[in-house]
Structure 1
C-alpha cells in the first residue's frame, strides 16, 4: 500500500477568505485527495479543522 503524502502549512494568513478556524502555521496534514490545486486533507499535528479542503 502506498504511503500518503504529508504537507506542511507554511502560510496563508494574508490569502483567501477569513474563517473562524484556520490551520496553524507548521501544522502537518495528510493528503486525502488532490484535485487540481485543491487539497482534501486530514490534520495530523498542529491546530485547526480536523479535515477539510484547502487551495
Structure 2
C-alpha cells in the first residue's frame, strides 16, 4: 500500500513538469513561426521595393 501512496504523491509533480514542458514547446514553436513570418514579410518588402524602383 505504501508504493501506491508514493505514486499518487508524484502525480502533481508530473503535472507540473508536463505544464513546463508544454510552455517551452509552445514558446519554441511560436518563435519559429514568427521568424518564418518575418522572413516572408521581408521577401515581400524586397520585391515591392524592386518593383517601385523599376516600373514596367
Q: TM-score range by the shorter chain?
A: under 0.3
Q: Hey, which of these two has a bigger chunk of helix by percent?
A: 2
Q: Hey, which of these two has a bigger chunk of strand by percent?
A: 1
Relative contact order (C-alpha < 8 Å, sep 6+): which is higher?
1
Which protein shows a greater Rg? 2
